[in-house]
Chains A and B, each alone.
Chain A
Amino acid sequence: MSEPKPAMKAKHQRLVLVAIALAAIVAAGLFAAYALRNQANYFYLPEQMSANPPATGQPVRLGGMVQTGSLERQADGITVAFVVTGSEAATVPVRYSGILPDLFVEGSGVVAEGSLQADGTFLATNLLAKHDENYVPRELEGLHGEEAAQQAAETVSYGN
């Protein structure tokens, strides 16, 4: 069997391959960087959300503390309303229909996934609360009222 005779020499084929691989990886990097830049607007603290609200309906995350005394269950039994507050006075009212995560309590941290509605309420589709006493959503690490978090030596890492 004789080698095929492509138009390129061996050295050139290697160069072309390296160039294509590099181009693809650089493209991946650029796509990723572009998409990630938009992610900077993905996570909001309450004060950021009141100062500079995201577009209505845009999927974002809101993270903060559930204000003590603000948790209210609606008559339908599945919708709850509560107020999320941050390190400053700013507050955002949140509505959520669903089963509250284990250990979701007033005065502790929560990350709500959802979108801001036209009336200024944050409609949450998913709540990420700590699911054991050590676990804190990493966005909330360091917020006040989270002394427990500081002692947290280990997180529940369910993928290890």
Chain B
Amino acid sequence: MMKKTKLLAVLLMLCLMTGLGAQGQVDSGVQKEVELRWASIWVGNDSKAPAVEALVNEYNAKNAGKIKVVIEPQPDYNAYEQKVRTSLAAGQAPADIFTIKFNPTTATFYQSNLLMDFSKVMSNSWKQTFDAGSLEQSTVDGMLKSLPMETAILPIWYNMDAFAQAGVKALPTTMNEMWAAFDKLKAAGITPASQMTGDTNAWTSMIWFSHFAVSLGGTNVWDKPFTDPAFVEAAKLTKRMITEYSTSDAVGLGAGGSGGHFLAGRTAVFSNGPWYAGRADLAATPFFNSIKIAGLPAAGSTKDFMISRLQANICAASTKDKAKEAAILDFMQYLTSPASIARIAETSGAMFAIKTDYRPVKALQKQFYDVASAAKTTAFDLEAALGAEVTLEFAQQLGALALGRISAEEFCALVDRKIER
């Protein structure tokens, strides 16, 4: 017993010491190697992980002795966001390189001196590889403290097998056709649409609402007060969708449940971004090859647009060390080069704000690229346009709206109060 305890104690001490020493072994050798720490979310199960890791390894091999990029893996996105804001609030950059989801809430980070302002250091030729619109969206008061990298469109997904079962052959092109198709689906015993008011953003329904609102109020609808008739009408349409054409558990349902209904074939219409197309369990469904990606029929006068967002913008820590700054810029330029991006896109099917010639071969992912390039204009979704607080209020009150506890006008007034002007 005694011996075992001693052995255990020695083991613990050893482990502790290597753990304690983890920090110390940074720089050695005569020529000083610049080490860049990248707090990366593209690790583990993420579909971008293998390509990103390969790119970093190649970069390190090429720059051996000069620059070394170390990936600090960040699992669990919510906890990662928490780490980024805690670290910035404590007056430190979370790493030399890290990513944020750009929206009005995270735009607050631009007030921090801890972030590098790329607008001053970016060459024109580098700038031109980016989608100009995304670059402009990422600019606040002339500052460009994050570079747009991953983007996404948020289209509507149609299970054409279910539509065929209900006797509907083509996608509805007008709202009236859509209601008629949905009624036929109901008559055939299929719930038309996945909707949800749960989580903190009512994800699926938030996307539908965004489609309605932009069509009714134009691509600049998010600049208007939320009491605008476009929003009231969009709220009425969303309510109708939840109460008449969705599952009985839609109020309070989370994104997992909403997706589950679609995967199980219980609902025929769904909405989500391109990442969902790469899911192994989606590929295992019998209707996988009959999924059509498109917009919603125009509820208003704006047509042929697509809802999109900046999914991941990449940031760097500002530094007075010129060598380090040069190293960061060199790596960022390498990472955002069309060649690198094409490789990440190839293995993940994700979409990017950097222009490449890459087009997916897989059918569903190809549809995303086709829909994105067919759209005449794009507009943000509600969360990307108005930030976390407004979206939270939207999600919470959407439940009350669907249950008939408040009117669409009251709903819009409540959400409007959370918008900062």
A binds B: no
Q: Give chain A's interface residues, CB within 8 Å of chain B.
A: none
